[in-house]
Amino acid sequence: MSGIVLHIMGAVLAISQNKRYEVDNAAQKIESAKIIMHENVYKDIDPEELAMKLGISYSWFRKVFKEYTGYAPAKYFQELKLRKAKQLLIESSMSVKEICYELNYTSTEHFFSVFKKRTNFTPTEYRLSLIHISEPTRQEAIS
């Protein structure tokens, strides 16, 4: 009887450790995906190709990525680009058109549309609204 109990306890421990490995492995894959996205913010990334590069299925990647970040991979990447656009609008003298092309948007119209939808400002309005803010506050606006 004690042999059966020890066997069951061993099986439970093995399953527990395997689940921990799966969770750690999933977290590692998602963190790798986020790093790749950050490094390629000036390019386009196809989430399906990214999943393939990480050696995982796209459906699993999309599901787990959203569980970890709260965003689907494509939406997360769009938010990264938007954050970078805001930073460039605040910290650089680049024109809006230059920023648009620097971040590899398909057109200025698309960039304006995405920016306005997410911020309620056009890129130019966003930049102008921050001109009147003091320098320390401008740094907080980036975060």
In a 13 Å sphere around the CA of 75, the CA atoms on its Cβ side amount to 9
Q: What is the pLDDT along the chain (143 residues), one digit of tens a residue?
A: 555 655 565 555 555 554 444 457 889 999 999 999 999 999 999 999 999 999 999 999 999 999 999 999 999 999 999 999 999 999 999 999 999 999 999 899 999 999 999 999 999 999 998 876 645 554 555 54
Output the CA torsion 47→53→56→59 (10° steps).
20
Q: What is the pLDDT of residue 16?
A: 52
Q: What is the pLDDT of residue 53?
A: 94
pTM of the model: 0.73
How far apart CA 24 and CA 29 sit, in angstroms, is: 9
Q: What is the pLDDT of residue 143?
A: 46
How far apart CA 26 and CA 32 sit, in angstroms, is: 10
Q: What is the pLDDT of residue 11?
A: 56
